[in-house]
A and B are shown apart, each in its own frame.
Chain A
């Protein structure tokens, strides 16, 4: 079905162009003499080019195809099958045709009056720039995941590569431990070294995290284990891997520096809370959205004193500053792991916290395109990359 919806309008465009070429007078604007949709289409879109205008007004192929896709509500479709009274013509012209599917809304403005837009400028002048954005998601028994890493508007403006990275994985539950059939790992990383290596650092940190979490799952997940110790060990191993990366690039370790925050979720059985191991180095943040309000699960982000500082701990320099905790989350909770590009506008602006709660609260899980659009909100002076892994806990399954 989705393929069909997407595929059908394409050949019509070609047909319309052929007709258009054969048709001598699509520019005659005043309606009246003939109830010919071409003329009203042109009148409705006077500022458009000829081919655009006649493309919109082409009557034949469009409604037939659309009537086969009745899940897409197009009220004018049936009226097209019969002779059309003149007064309905404007309605036909605006309510039919491939151009009339709902457009994806422009990103919401949640802070101030940003003059900086979101369109990318030049491509980053590096051999292997990261794609502008990464979008991902998953659904399992008892949890649904949406994740995105979105280049900041300032990096887009200056043609710099995204420096954030993220990762989500379902891992094989370790043998001999009764942790259910799902172990979910999510993480976000903010490359804080010098471009372009900061992107390599954050990407590699996510990969290394998964690699070093897997062998330590028994220790991380066992009720008798010492997850804080295991988290610190994992971060030390990630740091070692980043040093290797830097050495291979013949770069200083600080050039691949990155923050890293991770969450390891085992949903547990019905009626029991999900167990979440959270750990980080640097200013990544873990929030839970419960009953409409956000709670920081790993302590306050430091927004210090009279002057704003951007300093943060980072790997591979500071693995010893690993902070870890284990929390239980209930059905209905949303776990959010995010980089400071999202955490800062949230912490400093109630407008951002409230809007995200309205979008994501009460178990509402957005579609992937909706989630991407929401993550793309604009906020004046908050032009940094944003990465988030959202995990909704539910009782389904």
Chain B
């Protein structure tokens, strides 16, 4: 059996600055996300979902899964510093492994999609790791959609995104912003699932939302 699968990675900042309402809001949103993705047959059929949390280190909290078969979502726990390099290194290793695994099972794999969520400034040098992650010579290099909120530096968020970047405009509390983020994520997956099969010449395989309520869209500017 050979399927056409679209892997999604949610890369979540769980550094110490996320303590309190930001981390609570994400943890409240994840089960909802789980339910909305797992119960949408068009999305569940063709997506796989992975959750990675990062602070001083990065950890796979949910390995690439069919969300409709997952019974419980893991929780994020905030502490420590913010290493984007660890996050990007772990992500690249994980994508390599996952794509190889899916292909060895006979599946075809669409370019992975990353939802990068961070509230703070990285306190490491992450550019080399980022270049490895987005190296066009690496065939499964992902599309990255970056969300910044709290005290995030718009320039940093813009640099992380390859496709679209959003900055919270402070009209919503973190909890509301994250709920909006979750809904936007689901909508984006739905759209991707629909349109990736039909995208015309150009080969883009992912449709990102142009607007997310509570966030300002900024142009992506890969380093």
Partners in one complex: yes
Chain A positions within 8 Å of B, measured between CB atoms, are 111-112, 114-117, 152-155, 157-158, 160, 163, 192-194, 198, 254, 257, 303, 305-314, 317-318, 344, 348-349, 351, 380-384
- A-B CB proximity, top 7 nearest: A311-B203, A115-B41, A306-B139, A348-B2, A381-B46, A192-B200, A116-B41
Interface string of B172-203 (1 = CB under 8 A from A): 00000000000000000010011011111111
Given A192-B200, A192-B201, A308-B109, 7 more pairs with CB closer than 8 A: A193-B200, A303-B108, A308-B108, A308-B111, A308-B205, A380-B46, A381-B46
Taking a contact as CB atoms under 8 Å apart, the answer to whether B108 and A348 are in contact is yes
Contact A309 B198, CB 8 Å, known A111-B3, A154-B193, A303-B108? no
For the complex, give the distance between the alpha carbons of A387 and B44 in Å: 25
Instruction: Give the size range of B's interface with the partner.
Output: 20 to 34
B140 beta carbon closer than 8 Å to chain A: yes
Which chain B residues in 1-46 approach chain A with CB under 8 Å? 1-5, 41-42, 44-46
What residues of chain A lie closer than 8 Å to B197, measured between beta carbons? Answer: 152, 154, 310, 383-384
Shortest CB distance B25–A (Å): 29
Taking a contact as CB atoms under 8 Å apart, the answer to whether A380 and B45 are in contact is yes
For the complex, give the distance between the alpha carbons of A308 and B205 in Å: 9
For A153, the closest partner residue in chain B by CB is: B42
Partner of A349 from B1, B99, B196, B203 at Cβ < 8 Å: B1
For the complex, give the distance between the alpha carbons of A349 and B203 in Å: 23
Taking a contact as CB atoms under 8 Å apart, the answer to whether A310 and B2 are in contact is no
B217 beta carbon closer than 8 Å to chain A: no
Taking a contact as CB atoms under 8 Å apart, the answer to whether A311 and B41 are in contact is no
Give 15 pairs: A residue, B residue, CB < 8 Å, sorted on A.
Answer: A112-B3, A114-B45, A116-B45, A157-B42, A158-B42, A192-B199, A306-B109, A308-B108, A308-B109, A310-B197, A310-B199, A311-B199, A348-B4, A382-B4, A384-B198
What residues of chain B lie closer than 8 Å to A163, measured between beta carbons? Answer: 198
Contact A308 B4, CB 8 Å, known A157-B41, A254-B200? yes
Which residue, B1, B68, B99, B140, has most C-beta atoms of chain A within 10 A?
B1
For B4, the closest partner residue in chain A by CB is: A381
What residues of chain B lie closer than 8 Å to A351, measured between beta carbons? Answer: 1
For the complex, give the distance between the alpha carbons of A110 and B7 in Å: 23
B127 beta carbon closer than 8 Å to chain A: no
For B103, the closest partner residue in chain A by CB is: A306
Taking a contact as CB atoms under 8 Å apart, the answer to whether A311 and B202 are in contact is yes
